[in-house]
Amino acid sequence: MSTIIKAKQYLLNNYATWGPVNLNYDTPEATFKYNELEYDLSDANLLKPGEILVESIHLSNDPAQKGWFKSNKDSYLPPSPLGKPAPARGVGKVLKSNNDKYKEGDFVQAHLGWTTHSIFNADEKLTSKLDLSKVSKLSQFLSVFGSTTLTAYVAAYKYSELTPKDTDRVFLVSGAAGAVGSVLVQILAKDFKPKKVLAIAGGADKVKFVESLGPNVIGIDYKSSTYEEDFAKALGDDKIDVFFDQVAGEILDHASQYLKTFGKIVQIGAISGYNDPTKSYFKNYAASILHKRLRIQGFVVIDDFKDSAKIIAHLEELFQNGTLDKSKFHETIVDATGDNFVKIPELWTGLFTGTNKGKFITTVAKGYD
Ligand SMILES: NC(=O)c1ccc[n+]([C@@H]2O[C@H](COP(=O)([O-])OP(=O)(O)OC[C@H]3O[C@@H](n4cnc5c(N)ncnc54)[C@H](OP(=O)(O)O)[C@@H]3O)[C@@H](O)[C@H]2O)c1
């Protein structure tokens, strides 16, 4: 049996700009560059102390990667190095280890990057060993127990400053059909017993999807020409207690007018401007904050990773007592195994064109779930 592993990767070739990533690989300006390399498993010096060789299985598609592809010095993470695999979180299998904490055959979650195989020091990179007894399939470490679920969790239970006793509230969630949004809608609808959750999503199918996530959820299609009328009808005479916004731009600007006085905006994301900053300008937003004395809370979930074990324990309790339904943690999985690996960047751009319902995952290795 050959001891040579052929790895495929997409390297970060140029930092991304405010516009869409450049996928014109024939030009030197392309954001990514395809690369192949070989690892020889029989090489006794393949791994330095602390290092592991990991086969990537599932890669997470996150809008935040657009920021990680940039050289932005003000970001919450240091710029990713050019010439290395484009940054991406993922789950994989340890093929070889020179680290006491990991052995061959272990499954791990780490910042693997856009590569089929990688060697890294597991003590230096944010790496965790996965307990397969917690899931029915490996991809659930990116969906049910992934950082998008943690994000939804802390948005609801921590940054909103609500408690599940605060019933009869009106919530608004934008980006509701995505990974964070669909979990958040479920948590709010089922554990906070609100009067209603208005859930903004793109298209009739996604409106139906968000309405299936819990009771008292009213989906609103932001792509419809009657969006503002539909929004007004869904809200009725009510005002919004907390707006969980992931989109910013026009959706935030418009909705900010419908919060209660002293209402709250939890700013989770701003996806409408990630490829086009001109979408981030406001007409009503500042006046709404002022006149309604709104409170705005932004956050970055990495600050809450330290509480992951506690959060997961609470989620498991909510699964067990039936408050949350694991089967409603939807995944959209696309295939980049074998020759399809070259499609990875193009598949990733689907984040911005509505490809996914729930967690968007790219599979790069065959033979797992
Ligand atoms: N603060 C944090 O720590 C943290 C952590 C994770 C994620 N986030 C942010 O949370 C947001 C959601 O992340 P995610 O992982 O859930 O991504 P996701 O699964 O891709 O969901 C994003 C949703 O945004 C919607 N969307 C995209 N472009 C839009 C536009 N121009 N106008 C309106 N809606 C648009 C899409 O809805 P449709 O398909 O319905 O159009 C999609 O369902 C992102 O902004 C991300 O950066 C923040």
Max CA-CA distance within the chain? 71
Degrees, nearest 5: CA angle 38-128-149: 115
pLDDT at 1: 62
Ligand 1: centre distance to CA 46 (Å): 39
Strand 51-60 relative to strand 32-40: parallel, antiparallel, unpaired?
unpaired
* Predicted local distance difference test score (pLDDT) of residue 320: 96
Q: Output phi, psi for 23, to 5 deg.
A: -105, 20
Q: What is the pLDDT of residue 288?
A: 95
The atom number, within ligand 1, closest to the CA of 155 reads 1
Any ligand 1 atom below 6 A from CB of 259: no
DSSP letter at 119? E
The closest of 172, 122, 128 to 146, measured between CA atoms, is 128
How far is the C-alpha of 69 from the C-alpha of 319, rounded, in Å? 35
Q: Say how many Å lie between the first and final Cα of the chain, rounded.
A: 25
Under-70 pLDDT residues of the chain: 1, 73-74
Residue type (1 letter), 139 = S
pLDDT given at position 226: 98
Q: In the prediction, which pLDDT does 74 show?
A: 67
Query: Token pair for residue 5?
Result: 């592993």
Q: Is the CB of 142 under 6 A from ligand 1?
A: no
Distant-in-sequence, close-in-space partners of 288: CB < 8 Å, separation ≥ 6:
256, 257, 259, 294
CB of 352 closer than 6 angstroms to any ligand 1 atom? yes
The H-or-E segment that residue 314 falls in is: helix 308-320
Residue to probe by mutation, ligand 1, list 72, 89, 180, 208, most atoms within 8 Å of CB: 180
pLDDT value for 50 = 96
Tokens of 358: 């729930």
Query: Can you list the domains of the chain with their CATH numbers?
Result: 4-143+330-363 (3.90.180.10), 147-302 (3.40.50.720)
Q: Which atom of ligand 1 is nearest to the CA of 351?
A: 20
CA-CA distance, 148 to 338, in Å (whole number)? 27
